[in-house]
Amino acid sequence: MGLFNFFTQEIAMDLGTANTLIIHNDEVVVNEPSIVALNRNNMKEVLAVGKKALMMHEKTHESIRTVRPLKDGVIADFNAAELMIRELIKMIYPKKPLFPPSWRMVICIPSSITEVEKRAVRDSAEQAGAKEVYMIHEPMAAALGIGIDVEEPVGNMIIDIGGGTTGITVIALAGIVCDQSIRIAGDEFTADIMEALRRYHSLLIGERTAEQIKIQVGAAMKDLDNPPDDLPVNGRDLVTGIPKQIMVSYQEIAEALDKSIFKIEEAILKALETTPPELAADIYRRGLYLTGGGALLRGLDKRLSAKIKLPVHVADDPLKSVVRGTGLALKNYQRFPFIMR
DSSP structural state of residue 293: G
pTM of the model: 0.91
d(CA 53, CA 67): 9
pLDDT at 277: 96
Q: Supply φ then ψ for residue 206, to 5 degrees.
A: -90, 175
**50: annotated binding-site residue?**
no
d(CA 55, CA 60): 10
**163: annotated binding-site residue?**
yes
**165: annotated binding-site residue?**
yes
**212: annotated binding-site residue?**
yes
In contact, 193 and 213? CB cutoff 8 Å: yes
Q: What is the pLDDT of residues 182-237, one digit of tens each?
A: 999 999 999 999 999 999 999 999 999 999 999 999 999 999 999 999 999 999 99
**224: annotated binding-site residue?**
no
**164: annotated binding-site residue?**
yes
pLDDT at 116: 92
Q: What is the pLDDT of residues 138-148, one digit of tens each?
A: 999 999 999 99
**214: annotated binding-site residue?**
yes
d(CA 204, CA 235): 6
**191: annotated binding-site residue?**
no
In contact, 282 and 7? CB cutoff 8 Å: no
**88: annotated binding-site residue?**
no
Query: Tens of pLDDT along the chain (341 residues)?
Result: 455 566 788 999 999 999 999 999 899 999 999 999 999 999 999 999 999 999 999 999 999 999 999 998 889 999 999 999 999 998 988 777 777 788 899 999 988 889 998 999 999 899 888 899 999 999 999 999 999 999 999 999 999 999 999 999 999 999 999 999 999 999 999 999 999 999 999 999 999 999 999 999 999 999 999 999 999 999 999 999 999 999 999 999 999 999 999 999 999 999 999 999 999 999 999 999 999 999 999 999 999 999 999 999 999 999 999 999 999 999 888 888 888 87
pLDDT at 3: 54
pLDDT at 8: 82
**299: annotated binding-site residue?**
no
d(CA 196, CA 173): 44
Q: Supply φ then ψ for residue 317, to 5 degrees.
A: -125, 80
**147: annotated binding-site residue?**
no
Q: Sign of the C-alpha dihedral, residues 7, 8, 14, 15?
A: positive
